[in-house]
Amino acid sequence: MEQPRRITDSFPRRLRRRAAGRPPGRLKDKKDKKEKDKDQEKAQVKVRDCSRSPSQPPPDPALLEMLRRFDLSLEYGPCTGITRLQRWERAQELGLSPPDPIRDALLEHRDNPDVTYRWVWGGM
């Protein structure tokens, strides 16, 4: 008897990388949540160490304060669930003229998750 034909013969299987730190099927498990957070932090720490060059200084608190004020300013729309750079670019396209220094700061500290992060509630 010949081998049964599989769909992977015509459509080759491709491994897709999941987003870093998001293991599948563990979102609802509250018991493992703390462990997952630790895993995420470990993964993030690893990524951070690899991508940030050791000579780059950490961003100063005044910059972080300016970015937080950008998040909270209501005229550019909601800030949850999207990165700050995405929000800045959307405001630019809608003609709301967001201030340029914020974009420069975001591009300069692109690798730092504290600067670029999506503002999420409860690890969404």
Partner 1 sequence: MFSEQAAPTAQGLLAPPSAEPPTFPRVPVSGYLDCSQPFQLGERSFSRQYAHIYAVRLAGMRPGLERRARSRWGNDIVLRKLSELQAGEKCCVVGTLFKAMQLQPSILQEISEEHNLVPQPPLPKYIQPSDELILEDELQRIKLEGAIDVQRLVTGTILAVYGSEQDDGRFLVEDHCFASLPPPLPWKGPSSDRFVLLASGLGLGSVSGEALLSTQLLVDVVTGQLGAEGEQSCAAHITRVILAGNLLSQNTQSRDTINKAKYLTKKTQAASVEAVKMLDEILLQLCTSVPVDVMPGEFDPTNYTLPQQPLHRCMLPLASAYTTLHLVTNPYQANLDGVRFLGTSGQNISDIFKYSSMDDYLEILEWTLQAGHISPTAPDTLGCYPFYKSDPFILTECPHVYFCGNAPHFQSKLLQGKEGQRVLLVTVPDFSATQTACLVNLRDLTCQPITFSGFGADSED
CA 105 – CA 100 distance, rounded (Å): 9
Residues in binding contact with partner 1, number by CB under 8 A: 19
Tokens linked to 10? 């015509």
Reduced to 3 states, what is the DSSP secondary structure of residue 80? strand
H helix or E strand, kind and range, residue 69: helix 61-72
Based on the shown chain and the rule CB under 8 A, indicate whether residue 7 belongs to the binding site for partner 1: yes
User: Residue 82 corresponds to which tokens in the numbers above?
Assistant: 């999207």
In the chain, % helix, strand, coil (3-state, to 5) comes to 50, 0, 50
Task: Establish if 96 lies at the interface with partner 1 (CB under 8 A).
Answer: yes
15 scored as a contact of partner 1 (CB under 8 A) = no
How far apart are CB 97 and partner 1 at their closest, in Å?
A: 13
Which residues, 73 to 92, sit near partner 1 by CB under 8 A? 74-75, 77-78, 80-82, 86, 89-90
Choose between 10 and 55: whose C-beta lies nearer to partner 1.
Answer: 10
Distance, in Å, from the CA atom of 99 to the CA atom of 76, rounded to the nearest integer, reads 11
Q: Which 18-37 positions form the footprint of partner 1 (CB under 8 A)?
A: none
Interface ranges with partner 1 (CB under 8 A): 7, 10-11, 74-75, 77-78, 80-82, 86, 89-90, 93-94, 96, 118, 120, 124
